[in-house]
Structure 1
């Protein structure tokens, strides 16, 4: 399905007055909610524009701007509370259950919703999230290489800094693709200086994403989970997904070689195929698969 930003753009006001902007496409009973990462200039559209139309052929797709990003309300970092925003958004637009798809921070949000509101989540799909606990962004005691670049973009959202961001977020992006993507992200970030200021002011003790699920919560997740990660991710190492697949009982990990932090952009066709097949054909009954045949 061919879609544009303008024709799919929507917004809704939550009971507390927060505005959540989103892009909506497709129809039907199966809802898929896409949740972006934490980078400056990130939005539902910028993180998922090659995926929204493709998935809308089979699902009712919603790509959110979380409060503090894009066209959604500004919010101090201490008040992000994004997992609850997702649940409130679902209530506001009439979604009972959805497949949650989250990249990086969005993956953390999706994991927390699946753990704390299992009745709301039919399927859990992540790309490059942390794996819970207080050291989710730890790289031997400090920020990863990718997160250091991400912070430079918050402090100076110039196209030059965003070129460096695109370079480190991806495995090998050609200049003709990287340049317009960097310009788009830079323009998004510069349009809302208040979002950048709130992130930086809340980052004295590291990235202000303090709503992540605990290890105990992650282990309680009952939704079927598809955990996608780039082997060459320099923002959140793929070992986090190996930890998640150990913790979540009904899960499978999918590791992509020559792929960085944005699997949904770098390998869009493969990603779309994986998500479509997983949501349509994985029931999450909790039953063990039958053994069809045994090899010798």
Structure 2
């Protein structure tokens, strides 16, 4: 199902369904369409799924970092009038969700992270000396997934366009550095929010040991694995991802 992008005030976002709000946070190179299966599945249940376009390339360079994105998310939640939300983030989106929860714990009912940065990542922000070589970029995009076929031409084209736009590349590198700078290992033991960790066993960007460390450091967390799966579980195995998350939400009473 194709979802229409809403534009209100300074925000662009997709919204579908009615009920408990689930705010979905995309990654550095991730589009809103990466979560189509999540949106379709949970918007048919008792959830309102909202995916804001994060201002990855829209903020000044000094504000292009995890902390400012977390504050942007806080302003968006206030704009929508939500008191409590469920946050679901992939990659950089997971990191933003974690940092937001650190700053504003009272507004987060539950947290779901998948392939999240925040402890370590084999950053997408690096290794662009051959960025004009389409085949090199194609291989880099394919490496994000267990099955390289998931990296469609549309996805590869988008990554290629991003890294060959000087302004976007500078901000991509700034975000990658920010993700390393905002390491959350000391913060995680203080985050008491119920957290569901869903991870691909074959993730090359944030390897499986990262998921295990998240699981150890977050006091109220549960870790679930998806086999033959890379960095974007909700794209590679959407049905399994949705089933795990749906079961966890029901078990926790969300």
Residue 198 of structure 1: which of 171, 181, 184 is its match?
171
- Cα deviation code 1:110-129 (max 9, x no counterpart): 11122221111111110112
Contact 1:226–1:252, Cα closer than 8 Å, also in 2: yes
How many corresponding residue pairs?
A: 251
Q: Deviations over 1:218-265 (max 9, x none)?
A: 111122111111111111111111111111121111122211101110
2:23 corresponding residue in structure 1: 33
Match of 2:44 among 32, 57, 66: 57
| 1:61-119 Cα deviation digits (max 9, x unpaired) | 111221124xxx34315443111111111001111111111111111111112222111
In structure 2, the gaps of 5 or more residues are none
Distance 2:163 2:172 in 1: 14
- Aligned partners of 2:129 and 2:245: how far apart in 1? 31
Q: Match of 1:241?
A: 211
* CA distance in structure 2 between the aligned counterparts of 1:31 and 1:154, rounded to whole angstroms: 41
Bigger Rg, which one: 1
1:157 positional shift: 7.2
1 CA distance for matches of 2:228 and 2:212?
A: 18
> What is the TM-score when the length of structure 2 is the normalising length?
0.85
The SS at the match of 1:208 is helix
**Length-normalised TM-score, structure 1:** 0.74
Task: Indicate the RMSD between aligned Cα atoms, in angstroms.
Answer: 2.8
1:142-221 correspondence to structure 2 within 5 Å: 144=122, 147=123, 150-152=125-127, 156=131, 160-174=135-149, 178-186=152-160, 189=162, 194-200=167-173, 202=174, 207-209=177-179, 212=182, 214-221=184-191
Q: Distance in 2 between matches of 1:84 and 1:216?
A: 20
Would the aligned equivalents of 1:111 and 1:213 in 2 still touch at CA under 8 Å? no
Deviations along 1:9-56, one digit per CA (max 9) or x if unpaired, are 02343xxxxx3322111112x0001111123xx33x133123222221
